[in-house]
């Protein structure tokens, strides 16, 4: 059984929010009867659900495309300032596709889009490896290297954000890897791999050290590479990329179901039990003690004249739980 709004979002191009609105507005029918409760349960194997007369069929079919986004395009449907968006460039066949995360107006490179909201959500909320090539003003300092290796906590991460962004704290996890490709004093070029997709994350990170990012290009996401795809062009995933993605989705969805079962099993009678999950999946009333350990990472130290053994970045290949570990 599955909640109605989740069923619609899972098996259609509607987001969860859009599904909720369609249900509340009376566009959704179950067995021919209007249903206005987003939380009602349906059997995904036999449910007869339709939106405005169009039946929602439970299927595992979905499409993912790779778009080489140029600079000067927004990743949004519409812009109040009438600036160009990715949908102005994409074929009408992809107008309903959902972007997996964002690249800001001044950034370029690999952007994944899909016609299935569940796929977009699973990828956006994962710790998949995102690889970028960036150019910053100034040298790569020792402070930057330490923060890339150990993470960073800021009380105010407004530097590097949008002009009108509010002051707020921000946590930066340790980078999966970094490589200093050029360090010429007035500017530097780095290749970095991170596992998060926070708003303007890299721009905020380097702005903390007084370094402005002047060029930013995403090269890969979760092992899916940009390669030689021309700017402004689209390609479909290859067969092996789809196979890896399906493996990831299956594992992620199984883990989510197990977590839901555990939560239901250990919920108190009042429903107010403050659950804390430890790494082994058990629940206790007290927070699990944090395990102090340094992140697993590769540090490409070209700037120290040491040749790395392996310069291949795409290592995690859609593996939940282990995708935060950067293997040598």
Catalytic residues: 104
Number of CB atoms found within 10 A of residue 214's CB: 11
- The DSSP bridge partners found for residue 216 are 134
Distance CA 205, CA 157 (A): 8
Phi/psi for 6 (5° steps) reads -70, -40
Q: Which of 327, 194, 316 is nearest to 252 (CA)?
A: 316
Using a CB cutoff of 8 Å and minimum separation of 24, what contacts does 184-190 make? Answer: 185/138, 185/139, 186/137, 186/138, 187/135, 187/136, 187/137, 187/138, 187/214, 188/135, 188/136, 188/138, 188/139, 188/140, 189/133, 189/134, 189/135, 189/136, 190/133, 190/134, 190/136, 190/140
Residues 6 or more apart in contact with residue 296 via CB below 8 angstroms: 324, 325, 326, 327
């Amino acid at each position: 059984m599955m909640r109605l709004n989740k069923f619609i979002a899972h098996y259609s191009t509607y987001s969860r929010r859009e599904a909720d609105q369609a249900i509340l507005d009376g566009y959704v029918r179950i067995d021919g009867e209007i249903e206005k409760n987003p939380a009602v349960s349906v059997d995904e194997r036999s449910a007869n659900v339709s939106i405005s007369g169009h039946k929602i069929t439970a299927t595992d079919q979905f499409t993912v495309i790779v778009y080489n986004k140029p600079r000067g395009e927004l990743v949004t449907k519409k812009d109040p300032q009438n600036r160009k968006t990715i949908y102005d460039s994409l074929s009408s066949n992809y107008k309903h596709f959902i972007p997996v995360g964002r690249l800001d107006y001044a950034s370029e490179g690999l952007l994944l889009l899909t016609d299935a909201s569940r796929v977009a959500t699973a990828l956006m909320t994962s710790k998949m490896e995102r690889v970028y090539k960036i150019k910053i003003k100034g040298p790569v300092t020792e402070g930057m290297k330490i923060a890339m290796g150990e993470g960073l906590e800021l009380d105010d991460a407004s530097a590097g954000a949008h002009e009108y962004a509010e002051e707020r704290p921000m946590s930066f996890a340790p980078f999966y890897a970094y490589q200093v490709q050029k360090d010429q004093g007035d500017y530097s070029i780095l290749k970095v791999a991170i596992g998060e997709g926070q708003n303007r994350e890299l721009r905020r990170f380097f702005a903390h050290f007084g370094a402005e990012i002047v060029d930013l290009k995403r090269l890969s996401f979760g092992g899916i590479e940009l390669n030689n795809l021309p700017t402004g062009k689209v390609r479909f995933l290859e067969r092996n990329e789809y196979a890896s993605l399906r493996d990831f989705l299956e594992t992620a969805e199984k883990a989510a179901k197990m977590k839901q079962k555990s939560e239901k099993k250990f919920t108190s009678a009042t429903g107010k039990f403050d659950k804390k999950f430890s790494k082994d999946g058990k629940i206790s009333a007290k927070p699990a003690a944090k395990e102090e350990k340094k992140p697993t990472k590769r540090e490409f130290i070209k700037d120290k004249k040491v040749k790395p053994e392996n310069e291949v970045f795409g290592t995690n290949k859609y593996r939940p739980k282990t995708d935060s570990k950067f293997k040598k």
